[in-house]
Amino acid sequence: MTQQFALLKNDRLLRALRFEPIDVTPVWMMRQAGRYLPEYKETRAKAGDFLSLCKDTDMATEVTLQPLRRFELDAAILFSDILTIPDAFGLGLYFEEGEGPKFKYTVRTPTDLERLPKIDVNSQLDYVMKAVTNIRKELNGQVPLFGFSGSPWTLATYMVEGGSSREFRHTKEMMYARPQFLHALLAKISDAVVDYLDAQIIAGAQIVQIFDSWGGALGHRQFVEFSHNYNREIIARLKAKHPDVPVVMFTKGGGLWLDIQADSEADCLGLDWTTPLDRARRELNNAQKILTIKHKKLQRQKAIQGNLDPATLYGSPADIKKAVHDMLSDVYVNDKTGYVANFGHGITQWVKPEHAKVFVDSVHEFKL
């Protein structure tokens, strides 16, 4: 059933993604609702644990809105976790203090794969959809709302490894020794991601982002085969259902593959701090020309999102302002739109909230 929501008052982020004129640069922060905010810590303490916080509609709404009360942000993002899909697969997600997410069960054998159920996202993940709808209503048109999911490759690494990893030993062993098994797992995850993002859009998300947090751990050919191809398919399937809903594709460590990622229906590519924004724009413009010839039809320009190192916020306010100025000077060489300011990864828990405000305000103060 279609939800009824208030009209959007601040649409500058959506306008930037469409390469329309903007008054100031739109900005939001990955992980903007999080442990750097004292009010978040208080709410999480009341919830008891992280998963309980995610699954409580009122609390998830509260922490989503907290950063918007402090900062003049141009978007809200659903408070949740990328590991909700593996949890819905029945792998037993839990969090240990200081050790990150873990799973009781892994997926490493044909039997493990066969046990994975088909997820009914509106049943097993209904708490996410309830949160999306409630947040959208509480925003009352203040700013657009992001929904999100992890990418198939990134989710697969957690499901195979049983938690976070640096070496991805079991996943990469599977990739090289049993690639067809990994493809079967990625295909199953892809179906769940499409259903999940589709349901979030129906529930009220106005933009969605795919987090390919571990795509940069792959070799260049493996990135295409085991990450990009699945992301590309997911975006195409989503666009077939929701052609006007923007999709942001963020691959940490993916700046080397902008030409590859450009060959998708993503509206915007997120960048970490390793790729200069002026270089990224040049490479994407060149890719657009090549892909227009390849596909024999004009390819739309890709907007860019990113890419300040969040550690920059450990510096002084003056240093933060200079870093923002330098970053925006790089991006606005030709176009004065088509860009969303953000970090190259999530804001860290050790950042002072007042320094986050300096970042946001400095973005808005920059003269286009």
Residues 81, 195, 212, 267: which is the catalytic one? 81
How do residues 198-247 score in pLDDT, each as one tens digit?
Answer: 999 999 999 999 999 999 999 999 999 999 999 999 999 999 999 999 99
Tell me whether residue 32 is annotated as binding: yes
Rounded CA separation 132/182 (Å) = 31
Q: Is residue 191 among the annotated active site residues?
A: no
302: in domain:
yes
Q: Is 213 annotated as ligand-binding?
A: yes
- For residue 1, tell me if it sits in a domain: no
Both tokens of 90, joined, read: 């029945």
Is 5 part of any domain?
A: no
Contact indicator for 131, 57 with CB cutoff of 8 Å: yes
pLDDT band at 1 (very low <50, low <70, confident <90, very high): low
Share of the chain above pLDDT 70, in %: 99
Range of the domain at 158: 12-365
Q: Are strands 303-308 and 93-96 parallel, antiparallel or unpaired?
A: unpaired
256 alpha carbon, distance to own chain's centre: 18
Known binding residue 204? Answer is no
Question: Which of 31, 70, 282, 300 is labelled catalytic?
Answer: 31
Q: Could you tell me if residue 234 is inside a domain?
A: yes
81 annotated active-site: yes
| Tokens describing residue 262 | 């450009």
pLDDT digits (tens, 9 = 90+) for 224-233: 999 999 999 9
DSSP state letter for 226: I
Q: Is 44 a catalytic residue?
A: yes
Distance (Å, whole) CA 188 – CA 273: 32
Q: From CA 251, how far away is CA 78, in angstroms rounded?
A: 19
15, 18, 44, 300: which is the annotated catalytic residue? Answer: 44
Give residue 3's pLDDT: 74
Taking all residues of the chain, what is their mean pLDDT, rounded to a whole number?
96
Q: CA-to-CA distance for 99 and 101, rounded, in angstroms? A: 7
- pLDDT, residue 335, reads 85
Total number of domains in the chain: 1
pLDDT at 188: 98
Q: How many residues does the chain have?
A: 368
Rg for the chain, CA atoms, rounded? 20
How far is Cα 271 from Cα 306, in angstroms, rounded to an integer? 5
Beta bridge partners of 100: 96
Mind listing the pLDDT tens digit for each residue in 250-283?
Answer: 999 999 999 999 999 999 999 999 999 999 999 9
The confidence band for 334, taking pLDDT boundaries of 50, 70 and 90, is: confident
Nearest to 216 by CA among 272, 174, 259: 272
- Give the C-alpha separation, 211 to 246, whole Å: 14
Q: What is the CATH number of the domain that holds 34?
A: 3.20.20.210
Mean pLDDT of 295-315: 96
Reference 82, options 203, 212, 225; nearest CA is: 212
Band (pLDDT 50/70/90 cuts) for residue 98 is: low
**Which H or E run contains 321?**
helix 317-331
Out of 36, 158, 196, 332, the active site residue is: 158
Could you tell me the pTM of the whole model? 0.96
The reported pLDDT for the residue numbered 96 is 74
Q: How far apart are the first and last CA of the chain?
A: 41
230 is a domain residue:
yes
Is 31 annotated to bind ligand?
A: yes
Q: Catalytic residue among 35, 70, 282, 300, which? A: 35
| Per-residue pLDDT tens digits for 99-137 | 789 999 999 999 999 999 999 999 999 999 999 999 999
Answer yes or no: is 62 within a domain: yes
pLDDT given for residue 2 in this prediction:
59
158 assigned to active site? yes
How confident is the model over 140-151, as pLDDT tens digits?
999 999 999 999
